[in-house]
Amino acid sequence: MTDQPRAITALEYKWARATLGTIYPAAPEAGVTQGIADMDLAGFIDELAEALPAITFFGIRLFLLLVALSPLFVIGKPRTMAGLGEKDREAVVWKIGHSDIYLVRQMVMALKATFAFFFGGGAELQAICRSAEPDRAKLLPLGRKNAA
């Protein structure tokens, strides 16, 4: 840990790990053994705090807080995201992301968009993307139906 103060509190960081770890998990079947929670997430959040205007970083911080506290309202459990199991976290993120309320849906989308650059820039994903010939067996199907 650095001598510099963190951009968010330890509790907020715990919530961020749980929330973002649900959005960007490891996928060993696709050759991605590290999820975003296994990366230097705190360092990236600190960089965001330095690079972004204060109001923009406040928005990201607010979205993390609202998603972290949402299990009570979304699935009726009096816990934060960090206190839930994997399946419950997935259910919360899915329900928020499919809400009828635009702003609620956009909380998840804003977090996905912001942290996609960090997750996608990880060494493991970069190596997979740059490989000359991808291992087709590890690619995830898109779920499209074959045209008859």
Q: Does any domain span residue 14?
A: yes
145 in a domain, yes or no?
A: no
pLDDT at 57: 93
Helix extents (H) in the chain: 10-23, 41-51, 54-69, 71-74, 86-97, 102-120, 123-130
- Classify residue 71 as exposed, middle or buried by CB count within 10 Å of its CB (0-12, 13-18, 19+): buried
What is the reported pLDDT for 32? 82
Apex 50 CA angle, 44 and 55, nearest 5: 105
Residue 83 in any domain: the answer is yes
Q: Is residue 143 part of a domain?
A: no
Residue 93 CA to residue 101 CA, distance in Å, equals 14
**Domain count within the chain:** 1
**Domain hosting residue 82, numbered range:** 10-25+36-129
CB 96 within 8 A of CB 104: yes
How many beta carbons lie within 10 A of that of residue 7, not counting itself?
20
Q: What is the pTM of this model?
A: 0.80
**Is there a domain that residue 74 lies in?**
yes
Series of mean pLDDT values for 10-residue runs along the chain (148 residues):
70 95 89 89 92 93 95 93 95 95 94 91 79 66 59
